[in-house]
A and B are shown apart, each in its own frame.
Chain A
Amino acid sequence: MSQLTQALTEVEEKLRSLLEEVNQLIPYVKALEEENIKLKRECTLPEKETERVIANAEHIQGVAHDNLERLYHEGFHVCHLHFGQPLEGDCLFCMGFLRKD
Protein backbone atom coordinates (compact mmCIF):
# COMPACT_ATOMS: atom_id res chain seq x y z
CA MET A 1 0.00 0.00 0.00
CA SER A 2 2.76 2.41 0.98
CA GLN A 3 4.44 1.63 -2.29
CA LEU A 4 1.32 2.67 -4.16
CA THR A 5 1.07 5.91 -2.15
CA GLN A 6 4.67 6.69 -2.91
CA ALA A 7 4.13 6.07 -6.60
CA LEU A 8 1.12 8.38 -6.58
CA THR A 9 3.11 11.05 -4.76
CA GLU A 10 5.84 10.79 -7.39
CA VAL A 11 3.31 11.10 -10.22
CA GLU A 12 1.78 14.12 -8.47
CA GLU A 13 5.20 15.76 -8.19
CA LYS A 14 5.97 15.07 -11.84
CA LEU A 15 2.63 16.49 -12.90
CA ARG A 16 3.23 19.53 -10.75
CA SER A 17 6.65 20.12 -12.30
CA LEU A 18 5.16 19.55 -15.76
CA LEU A 19 2.44 22.08 -15.02
CA GLU A 20 5.06 24.49 -13.79
CA GLU A 21 6.98 23.99 -16.99
CA VAL A 22 3.81 24.54 -19.05
CA ASN A 23 3.08 27.69 -17.07
CA GLN A 24 6.58 28.91 -17.79
CA LEU A 25 6.14 28.17 -21.48
CA ILE A 26 2.83 30.00 -21.84
CA PRO A 27 4.25 33.58 -21.78
CA TYR A 28 7.08 32.49 -24.03
CA VAL A 29 4.63 31.11 -26.60
CA LYS A 30 2.56 34.26 -26.20
CA ALA A 31 5.64 36.40 -26.90
CA LEU A 32 6.50 34.26 -29.91
CA GLU A 33 2.98 34.56 -31.27
CA GLU A 34 3.07 38.31 -30.82
CA GLU A 35 6.42 38.50 -32.54
CA ASN A 36 5.11 36.33 -35.36
CA ILE A 37 2.15 38.65 -35.88
CA LYS A 38 4.46 41.64 -35.81
CA LEU A 39 6.85 40.03 -38.31
CA LYS A 40 4.00 39.02 -40.57
CA ARG A 41 2.76 42.58 -40.56
CA GLU A 42 6.26 43.82 -41.34
CA CYS A 43 6.59 41.37 -44.20
CA THR A 44 3.32 42.31 -45.88
CA LEU A 45 3.87 46.05 -45.53
CA PRO A 46 6.63 46.45 -48.20
CA GLU A 47 4.51 44.50 -50.65
CA LYS A 48 1.72 46.94 -50.17
CA GLU A 49 4.16 49.81 -50.26
CA THR A 50 5.59 48.52 -53.58
CA GLU A 51 2.08 48.23 -54.98
CA ARG A 52 1.38 51.77 -53.89
CA VAL A 53 4.62 53.04 -55.47
CA ILE A 54 3.93 51.17 -58.74
CA ALA A 55 0.39 52.50 -58.89
CA ASN A 56 1.68 55.99 -58.22
CA ALA A 57 4.39 55.65 -60.91
CA GLU A 58 1.84 54.40 -63.42
CA HIS A 59 -0.39 57.30 -62.56
CA ILE A 60 2.48 59.77 -62.97
CA GLN A 61 3.51 58.07 -66.23
CA GLY A 62 -0.03 58.33 -67.52
CA VAL A 63 -0.18 61.99 -66.58
CA ALA A 64 3.25 62.58 -68.14
CA HIS A 65 2.17 60.84 -71.34
CA ASP A 66 -1.01 62.91 -71.43
CA ASN A 67 1.05 66.05 -70.88
CA LEU A 68 3.45 65.14 -73.68
CA GLU A 69 0.58 64.30 -75.99
CA ARG A 70 -1.07 67.61 -75.19
CA LEU A 71 2.23 69.43 -75.76
CA TYR A 72 2.57 67.69 -79.13
CA HIS A 73 -0.96 68.59 -80.18
CA GLU A 74 -0.32 72.17 -79.14
CA GLY A 75 2.45 72.19 -81.73
CA PHE A 76 5.71 71.32 -79.99
CA HIS A 77 8.18 68.50 -80.45
CA VAL A 78 8.30 65.91 -77.68
CA CYS A 79 11.01 63.70 -79.21
CA HIS A 80 14.44 64.02 -77.64
CA LEU A 81 15.83 65.41 -80.89
CA HIS A 82 13.87 68.66 -80.94
CA PHE A 83 12.14 68.65 -77.56
CA GLY A 84 10.15 71.85 -76.99
CA GLN A 85 10.81 73.30 -80.42
CA PRO A 86 7.82 74.34 -82.53
CA LEU A 87 6.51 71.66 -84.90
CA GLU A 88 6.43 72.15 -88.64
CA GLY A 89 3.98 69.43 -89.59
CA ASP A 90 3.95 66.09 -87.83
CA CYS A 91 7.20 64.48 -86.66
CA LEU A 92 7.82 60.76 -87.12
CA PHE A 93 9.97 60.57 -84.02
CA CYS A 94 7.47 62.35 -81.75
CA MET A 95 4.70 60.06 -83.01
CA GLY A 96 6.89 56.99 -82.61
CA PHE A 97 7.78 58.08 -79.08
CA LEU A 98 4.15 58.73 -78.10
CA ARG A 99 3.08 55.42 -79.63
CA LYS A 100 5.82 53.48 -77.83
CA ASP A 101 5.00 55.17 -74.54
Chain B
Amino acid sequence: MKIFCSKDSLISGVNAVQRAVSVKNTLPVLSGILISAEKQSLRFAATDLELGIRCEIPAQIEEEGTIVVPAKLFAEVVRKLPDTMITIKEENLAITIYYYQSEITLRGYDPEEYPLLPDLIDPMSYTIPTLIFKNMIRQTIFSCAVEENRPVFNGTLMQIEGSNLRLVATDTHRLAYSISEVENPKNASFNGIIPAKTLAEIYRLLKDEDESIQISFNKTQVVFQFGLIYLVSRLIDGMFPNYKQVIPQTCETKINLSVKNFLEAVERASLLSHDKSGANIIRIKVESTQLKIDQTTELGKISEQIEVTTQGNDVMIAFNAKFLIDALKVIDTDQIIFELSGPYSPGVMRPLDNPNYLYLVLPVRIS
Protein backbone atom coordinates (compact mmCIF):
# COMPACT_ATOMS: atom_id res chain seq x y z
CA MET B 1 0.00 0.00 0.00
CA LYS B 2 1.17 3.49 -0.82
CA ILE B 3 -0.99 6.58 -0.38
CA PHE B 4 -0.74 10.37 -0.25
CA CYS B 5 -3.06 12.51 1.81
CA SER B 6 -3.26 15.55 4.05
CA LYS B 7 -2.81 15.56 7.80
CA ASP B 8 -6.37 16.89 8.23
CA SER B 9 -7.84 13.98 6.28
CA LEU B 10 -5.91 11.51 8.40
CA ILE B 11 -7.08 13.23 11.59
CA SER B 12 -10.71 13.22 10.48
CA GLY B 13 -10.47 9.49 9.67
CA VAL B 14 -8.87 8.64 13.00
CA ASN B 15 -11.29 10.83 14.99
CA ALA B 16 -14.29 9.24 13.31
CA VAL B 17 -13.41 5.67 14.20
CA GLN B 18 -11.32 5.97 17.34
CA ARG B 19 -14.18 5.62 19.86
CA ALA B 20 -15.11 2.24 18.37
CA VAL B 21 -11.67 0.82 19.11
CA SER B 22 -11.86 -1.85 21.77
CA VAL B 23 -10.51 -0.80 25.16
CA LYS B 24 -10.57 -4.36 26.44
CA ASN B 25 -7.51 -6.37 25.60
CA THR B 26 -9.33 -9.57 24.70
CA LEU B 27 -8.22 -9.61 21.06
CA PRO B 28 -5.09 -7.51 20.40
CA VAL B 29 -6.03 -6.81 16.78
CA LEU B 30 -9.18 -5.00 18.00
CA SER B 31 -7.02 -2.35 19.65
CA GLY B 32 -6.09 -1.26 16.15
CA ILE B 33 -7.60 0.67 13.27
CA LEU B 34 -8.02 -1.12 9.96
CA ILE B 35 -6.74 1.04 7.12
CA SER B 36 -7.56 0.00 3.57
CA ALA B 37 -6.54 1.78 0.41
CA GLU B 38 -8.91 0.87 -2.40
CA LYS B 39 -9.55 2.61 -5.70
CA GLN B 40 -9.54 6.33 -4.92
CA SER B 41 -10.35 6.29 -1.22
CA LEU B 42 -8.71 5.55 2.05
CA ARG B 43 -10.96 3.70 4.42
CA PHE B 44 -10.61 3.62 8.24
CA ALA B 45 -12.51 1.06 10.31
CA ALA B 46 -12.66 0.10 13.97
CA THR B 47 -14.85 -2.13 16.08
CA ASP B 48 -15.15 -3.47 19.59
CA LEU B 49 -17.63 -6.07 18.29
CA GLU B 50 -20.54 -4.07 19.76
CA LEU B 51 -20.04 -0.93 17.74
CA GLY B 52 -18.28 -0.64 14.42
CA ILE B 53 -17.46 2.54 12.50
CA ARG B 54 -16.17 2.88 8.98
CA CYS B 55 -15.15 6.17 7.43
CA GLU B 56 -13.83 7.13 4.03
CA ILE B 57 -11.41 9.98 3.52
CA PRO B 58 -10.09 11.48 0.31
CA ALA B 59 -6.61 10.29 -0.60
CA GLN B 60 -4.47 9.60 -3.61
CA ILE B 61 -3.87 5.89 -3.86
CA GLU B 62 -0.77 4.79 -5.65
CA GLU B 63 -0.82 1.21 -4.48
CA GLU B 64 -3.76 -0.56 -2.89
CA GLY B 65 -3.37 -2.47 0.38
CA THR B 66 -4.64 -3.07 3.91
CA ILE B 67 -3.13 -3.02 7.38
CA VAL B 68 -4.19 -2.73 11.01
CA VAL B 69 -2.30 -0.09 12.98
CA PRO B 70 -2.28 0.34 16.78
CA ALA B 71 -5.03 2.92 17.29
CA LYS B 72 -3.74 4.95 20.21
CA LEU B 73 -0.21 5.30 18.94
CA PHE B 74 -1.27 5.98 15.36
CA ALA B 75 -3.75 8.66 16.51
CA GLU B 76 -1.10 10.40 18.60
CA VAL B 77 1.43 10.28 15.78
CA VAL B 78 -1.09 11.64 13.25
CA ARG B 79 -2.01 14.55 15.53
CA LYS B 80 1.64 15.48 15.89
CA LEU B 81 2.40 15.41 12.15
CA PRO B 82 3.23 18.68 10.40
CA ASP B 83 0.66 20.33 8.11
CA THR B 84 2.00 18.96 4.88
CA MET B 85 1.29 16.23 2.38
CA ILE B 86 1.82 12.88 4.09
CA THR B 87 2.88 9.68 2.39
CA ILE B 88 2.06 6.36 4.00
CA LYS B 89 3.63 3.14 2.82
CA GLU B 90 2.87 -0.33 4.10
CA GLU B 91 5.36 -3.17 3.92
CA ASN B 92 5.66 -6.41 5.87
CA LEU B 93 2.94 -5.62 8.41
CA ALA B 94 4.39 -2.20 9.23
CA ILE B 95 3.60 1.28 7.98
CA THR B 96 6.01 4.07 7.36
CA ILE B 97 4.75 7.64 7.46
CA TYR B 98 6.85 10.10 5.42
CA TYR B 99 6.72 13.88 5.89
CA TYR B 100 9.31 16.37 4.65
CA GLN B 101 12.59 14.48 4.96
CA SER B 102 11.49 12.52 8.03
CA GLU B 103 9.70 9.22 8.58
CA ILE B 104 8.10 7.15 11.32
CA THR B 105 7.61 3.39 11.13
CA LEU B 106 4.91 1.69 13.18
CA ARG B 107 4.38 -2.04 13.49
CA GLY B 108 0.92 -3.21 12.60
CA TYR B 109 -1.27 -6.31 12.81
CA ASP B 110 -2.32 -8.78 10.16
CA PRO B 111 -5.53 -7.41 8.54
CA GLU B 112 -6.69 -10.98 7.88
CA GLU B 113 -7.31 -11.30 11.62
CA TYR B 114 -9.52 -8.23 11.73
CA PRO B 115 -13.29 -8.92 11.83
CA LEU B 116 -15.37 -7.54 8.97
CA LEU B 117 -18.02 -4.95 9.75
CA PRO B 118 -21.24 -6.63 8.68
CA ASP B 119 -23.46 -5.27 5.93
CA LEU B 120 -27.07 -6.03 6.80
CA ILE B 121 -28.86 -8.43 4.50
CA ASP B 122 -32.29 -7.26 3.31
CA PRO B 123 -32.62 -4.57 5.93
CA MET B 124 -35.55 -2.18 6.36
CA SER B 125 -34.39 1.39 5.96
CA TYR B 126 -35.57 4.81 7.03
CA THR B 127 -34.28 8.34 6.51
CA ILE B 128 -34.41 11.10 9.12
CA PRO B 129 -33.38 14.75 8.82
CA THR B 130 -30.13 15.16 10.76
CA LEU B 131 -31.18 18.13 12.87
CA ILE B 132 -34.30 16.38 14.15
CA PHE B 133 -32.46 13.19 15.08
CA LYS B 134 -29.55 15.02 16.66
CA ASN B 135 -31.88 17.06 18.83
CA MET B 136 -33.86 13.99 19.87
CA ILE B 137 -30.64 12.27 20.95
CA ARG B 138 -29.55 15.35 22.90
CA GLN B 139 -32.88 15.55 24.69
CA THR B 140 -32.98 11.91 25.80
CA ILE B 141 -29.55 10.31 26.05
CA PHE B 142 -28.63 11.81 29.43
CA SER B 143 -31.41 9.79 31.08
CA CYS B 144 -29.82 6.43 30.21
CA ALA B 145 -28.45 4.45 33.14
CA VAL B 146 -24.71 4.42 33.68
CA GLU B 147 -24.60 1.36 35.93
CA GLU B 148 -24.46 -1.83 33.91
CA ASN B 149 -26.58 -4.14 36.04
CA ARG B 150 -29.62 -3.82 33.78
CA PRO B 151 -28.59 -3.56 30.11
CA VAL B 152 -32.00 -2.37 28.78
CA PHE B 153 -31.47 0.90 30.63
CA ASN B 154 -28.02 1.45 29.11
CA GLY B 155 -29.71 2.31 25.85
CA THR B 156 -32.46 4.36 24.32
CA LEU B 157 -35.64 2.80 23.02
CA MET B 158 -36.16 3.80 19.41
CA GLN B 159 -39.60 3.24 17.92
CA ILE B 160 -40.66 3.91 14.36
CA GLU B 161 -44.40 3.58 13.86
CA GLY B 162 -46.02 5.13 10.82
CA SER B 163 -44.85 8.73 10.67
CA ASN B 164 -43.83 8.76 14.35
CA LEU B 165 -40.26 8.42 15.54
CA ARG B 166 -39.84 8.08 19.30
CA LEU B 167 -36.80 7.98 21.55
CA VAL B 168 -37.25 7.03 25.22
CA ALA B 169 -34.51 6.75 27.84
CA THR B 170 -34.73 6.00 31.54
CA ASP B 171 -32.55 4.95 34.45
CA THR B 172 -35.70 4.22 36.55
CA HIS B 173 -35.28 7.49 38.50
CA ARG B 174 -36.04 9.72 35.54
CA LEU B 175 -37.35 9.32 32.01
CA ALA B 176 -36.94 11.43 28.89
CA TYR B 177 -39.33 11.04 25.96
CA SER B 178 -39.13 12.68 22.57
CA ILE B 179 -41.35 12.18 19.54
CA SER B 180 -41.14 13.62 16.04
CA GLU B 181 -43.12 13.29 12.88
CA VAL B 182 -40.95 12.08 10.04
CA GLU B 183 -41.84 10.93 6.55
CA ASN B 184 -41.95 7.17 6.28
CA PRO B 185 -42.88 6.37 2.66
CA LYS B 186 -41.85 2.70 2.91
CA ASN B 187 -43.85 2.34 6.13
CA ALA B 188 -40.84 0.90 7.96
CA SER B 189 -41.42 -0.09 11.55
CA PHE B 190 -38.81 -0.59 14.22
CA ASN B 191 -38.69 -1.17 17.95
CA GLY B 192 -35.23 -1.65 19.43
CA ILE B 193 -32.89 -0.49 22.17
CA ILE B 194 -29.83 1.30 20.84
CA PRO B 195 -26.82 1.47 23.18
CA ALA B 196 -26.25 4.96 24.60
CA LYS B 197 -22.61 4.72 23.45
CA THR B 198 -23.78 4.29 19.85
CA LEU B 199 -26.10 7.28 20.01
CA ALA B 200 -23.42 9.38 21.70
CA GLU B 201 -21.06 8.54 18.82
CA ILE B 202 -23.70 9.41 16.23
CA TYR B 203 -24.34 12.71 18.02
CA ARG B 204 -20.61 13.44 18.04
CA LEU B 205 -20.08 12.51 14.41
CA LEU B 206 -23.22 14.04 12.88
CA LYS B 207 -22.42 17.33 11.26
CA ASP B 208 -25.05 19.96 10.60
CA GLU B 209 -24.18 19.85 6.92
CA ASP B 210 -25.16 16.17 6.78
CA GLU B 211 -28.73 16.66 5.61
CA SER B 212 -30.08 13.28 6.53
CA ILE B 213 -29.17 10.07 8.25
CA GLN B 214 -30.19 6.70 6.86
CA ILE B 215 -31.08 4.01 9.36
CA SER B 216 -31.18 0.36 8.34
CA PHE B 217 -32.01 -2.40 10.74
CA ASN B 218 -32.77 -6.02 11.33
CA LYS B 219 -33.64 -7.79 14.57
CA THR B 220 -30.19 -7.64 16.13
CA GLN B 221 -28.30 -4.83 14.44
CA VAL B 222 -28.79 -1.30 13.29
CA VAL B 223 -26.76 0.68 10.77
CA PHE B 224 -26.54 4.47 10.56
CA GLN B 225 -25.13 6.05 7.40
CA PHE B 226 -24.41 9.74 7.04
CA GLY B 227 -21.79 11.71 5.17
CA LEU B 228 -18.83 9.40 4.66
CA ILE B 229 -19.58 7.39 7.78
CA TYR B 230 -21.03 3.91 8.15
CA LEU B 231 -21.80 2.95 11.75
CA VAL B 232 -23.08 -0.47 12.74
CA SER B 233 -24.23 -1.30 16.23
CA ARG B 234 -25.59 -4.28 18.07
CA LEU B 235 -29.04 -3.72 19.57
CA ILE B 236 -29.47 -4.32 23.28
CA ASP B 237 -31.20 -7.59 23.91
CA GLY B 238 -34.25 -7.46 26.16
CA MET B 239 -37.65 -5.89 26.58
CA PHE B 240 -37.88 -2.19 27.34
CA PRO B 241 -40.43 -1.70 30.14
CA ASN B 242 -43.82 -0.15 29.51
CA TYR B 243 -42.85 3.50 29.88
CA LYS B 244 -46.40 4.74 29.27
CA GLN B 245 -47.47 3.25 32.59
CA VAL B 246 -45.18 5.54 34.58
CA ILE B 247 -46.32 8.83 33.03
CA PRO B 248 -48.88 10.40 35.39
CA GLN B 249 -52.09 11.46 33.70
CA THR B 250 -53.11 14.00 36.34
CA CYS B 251 -51.35 16.45 38.64
CA GLU B 252 -52.11 18.48 41.75
CA THR B 253 -49.90 21.48 41.00
CA LYS B 254 -49.13 23.01 37.63
CA ILE B 255 -46.31 25.55 37.52
CA ASN B 256 -45.52 27.70 34.49
CA LEU B 257 -41.96 28.98 34.78
CA SER B 258 -39.03 30.35 32.84
CA VAL B 259 -36.44 27.72 31.91
CA LYS B 260 -33.55 30.18 32.15
CA ASN B 261 -34.52 31.55 35.58
CA PHE B 262 -35.19 28.10 37.00
CA LEU B 263 -31.99 26.62 35.56
CA GLU B 264 -29.84 29.41 36.91
CA ALA B 265 -31.48 29.24 40.35
CA VAL B 266 -31.07 25.45 40.53
CA GLU B 267 -27.44 25.68 39.41
CA ARG B 268 -26.65 28.28 42.07
CA ALA B 269 -28.46 26.32 44.78
CA SER B 270 -26.71 23.12 43.75
CA LEU B 271 -23.34 24.74 44.46
CA LEU B 272 -24.26 24.74 48.13
CA SER B 273 -26.08 21.42 48.18
CA HIS B 274 -23.22 18.96 47.79
CA ASP B 275 -23.02 17.02 51.01
CA LYS B 276 -20.52 14.44 52.25
CA SER B 277 -22.51 11.53 50.75
CA GLY B 278 -22.26 13.11 47.30
CA ALA B 279 -26.00 13.76 47.13
CA ASN B 280 -26.95 17.01 45.49
CA ILE B 281 -30.42 17.66 46.84
CA ILE B 282 -32.31 20.92 46.62
CA ARG B 283 -35.57 21.76 48.31
CA ILE B 284 -38.24 23.57 46.33
CA LYS B 285 -41.25 25.33 47.81
CA VAL B 286 -44.08 26.46 45.56
CA GLU B 287 -46.51 28.99 47.01
CA SER B 288 -49.10 30.65 44.76
CA THR B 289 -46.95 32.91 42.52
CA GLN B 290 -43.53 32.07 43.89
CA LEU B 291 -41.10 29.23 43.64
CA LYS B 292 -38.49 29.30 46.40
CA ILE B 293 -35.30 27.35 46.82
CA ASP B 294 -33.90 27.76 50.33
CA GLN B 295 -30.71 25.90 51.01
CA THR B 296 -28.70 25.92 54.23
CA THR B 297 -25.73 23.62 54.44
CA GLU B 298 -22.34 23.47 56.10
CA LEU B 299 -21.06 25.45 53.14
CA GLY B 300 -23.46 28.37 53.53
CA LYS B 301 -26.95 29.53 52.78
CA ILE B 302 -28.84 30.45 49.62
CA SER B 303 -32.33 31.75 49.16
CA GLU B 304 -33.67 31.85 45.60
CA GLN B 305 -37.06 33.16 44.60
CA ILE B 306 -38.66 33.03 41.13
CA GLU B 307 -41.95 34.49 40.00
CA VAL B 308 -44.15 31.75 38.53
CA THR B 309 -47.74 31.11 37.55
CA THR B 310 -49.31 28.18 39.36
CA GLN B 311 -52.53 26.25 39.37
CA GLY B 312 -53.49 23.91 42.20
CA ASN B 313 -51.97 23.16 45.58
CA ASP B 314 -48.86 24.59 47.21
CA VAL B 315 -46.12 22.00 47.49
CA MET B 316 -42.74 21.36 49.09
CA ILE B 317 -40.57 18.91 47.24
CA ALA B 318 -36.90 17.93 46.94
CA PHE B 319 -35.01 16.88 43.83
CA ASN B 320 -31.55 15.81 42.87
CA ALA B 321 -30.32 19.08 41.36
CA LYS B 322 -28.39 17.30 38.62
CA PHE B 323 -31.57 15.60 37.38
CA LEU B 324 -33.25 19.01 37.00
CA ILE B 325 -30.23 20.70 35.43
CA ASP B 326 -29.73 17.92 32.86
CA ALA B 327 -33.26 18.37 31.53
CA LEU B 328 -33.44 22.16 31.77
CA LYS B 329 -30.29 22.38 29.66
CA VAL B 330 -31.81 20.48 26.74
CA ILE B 331 -35.28 22.03 26.68
CA ASP B 332 -35.49 24.42 23.74
CA THR B 333 -38.45 26.55 24.78
CA ASP B 334 -38.30 29.61 27.07
CA GLN B 335 -41.06 28.37 29.33
CA ILE B 336 -41.98 24.99 30.77
CA ILE B 337 -44.92 23.52 32.57
CA PHE B 338 -43.73 21.68 35.68
CA GLU B 339 -46.41 19.32 36.97
CA LEU B 340 -46.21 18.03 40.54
CA SER B 341 -48.40 15.79 42.68
CA GLY B 342 -47.15 16.09 46.23
CA PRO B 343 -43.67 15.49 47.60
CA TYR B 344 -43.41 11.79 46.66
CA SER B 345 -44.84 11.54 43.15
CA PRO B 346 -42.79 12.15 40.00
CA GLY B 347 -42.59 15.65 38.58
CA VAL B 348 -43.25 16.12 34.87
CA MET B 349 -41.59 18.84 32.79
CA ARG B 350 -43.18 19.74 29.48
CA PRO B 351 -41.95 22.52 27.21
CA LEU B 352 -44.70 25.10 26.82
CA ASP B 353 -46.56 24.67 23.51
CA ASN B 354 -44.52 21.63 22.53
CA PRO B 355 -46.22 18.30 23.17
CA ASN B 356 -43.33 16.39 21.57
CA TYR B 357 -41.10 16.27 24.63
CA LEU B 358 -41.57 15.16 28.19
CA TYR B 359 -39.22 14.65 31.14
CA LEU B 360 -40.22 12.73 34.21
CA VAL B 361 -38.19 12.99 37.41
CA LEU B 362 -38.64 11.38 40.78
CA PRO B 363 -38.33 13.55 43.86
CA VAL B 364 -36.03 12.70 46.75
CA ARG B 365 -37.70 11.78 50.02
CA ILE B 366 -36.62 14.12 52.76
CA SER B 367 -37.39 14.08 56.45
A interface list, Cβ under 8 A from B: 79-82, 89-93, 95-97, 99-100
Contact = CB atoms under 8 A, between A and B. Distances in A.
The SS class assigned to the B binding surface is: loop
Given A92-B360, A95-B362, A97-B245, A81 B173 contact: no
Nearest to B170: A92
Contacts of A97: 245
10 contacts: A81-B172, A82-B150, A90-B173, A91-B172, A91-B173, A92-B170, A92-B175, A92-B246, A92-B346, A95-B345
A96 B348 CA distance: 14
Contacts of B364: 89
Nearest to A81: B241
Given A92-B174, A95-B362, A81 B150 contact: yes
A79 B246 CA distance: 11
B257 to A, nearest CB: 23
Interface in B101-140: none
B365 interface: yes
B150 A90 contact: no
Given A81-B241, A89-B364, A90-B365, A95 B150 contact: no
Interface of B: 150, 152, 170, 172-175, 241, 245-248, 344-346, 360, 362-365
A80 B172 CA distance: 12
Which of B150, B172, B247, B248 has the largest count of A CB atoms less than 10 A from its CB?
A: B172
B173 A92 contact: yes
A99 B346 CA distance: 12
Contact of B241 (A89, A93, A95, A99): A93
Contacts of A99: 248
A75 B175 CA distance: 21
Contacts of A100: 245
List 7 A-B pairs, minimum CB-CB distance, nearest first: A96-B246, A96-B245, A92-B246, A90-B362, A91-B172, A92-B172, A93-B241
B275 to A, nearest CB: 15
A95 B173 contact: no
Contacts of B360: 92
A93 B246 contact: yes
Contacts of A79: 241
Given A92-B172, A96-B246, 17 more contacts: A80-B241, A81-B172, A81-B241, A89-B362, A89-B364, A90-B173, A90-B363, A90-B365, A91-B173, A92-B174, A92-B175, A92-B246, A93-B172, A93-B246, A97-B245, A99-B248, A100-B245
Nearest to B363: A90
A52 B248 CA distance: 34
A95 B150 CA distance: 18
A95 B360 CA distance: 12
Contacts of B345: 95
A82 B362 CA distance: 17
Nearest to B345: A95
Nearest to A89: B173
B332 to A, nearest CB: 24
Contact of B362 (A80, A81, A92): A92
B71 to A, nearest CB: 36
A97 to B, nearest CB: 7
Contacts of A81: 150, 152, 172, 241
Contacts of B175: 92
Nearest to B173: A89
Contacts of A95: 246, 345-346, 362
Contacts of A96: 245-247
Contacts of A89: 173, 362, 364
A95 B363 CA distance: 12
Which of B245, B345, B364 has the largest count of A CB atoms less than 10 A from its CB?
A: B245
Nearest to A87: B172
B313 to A, nearest CB: 18
Nearest to A88: B173
Contacts of A93: 172, 241, 245-246
Contacts of B365: 90
A90 B345 CA distance: 10
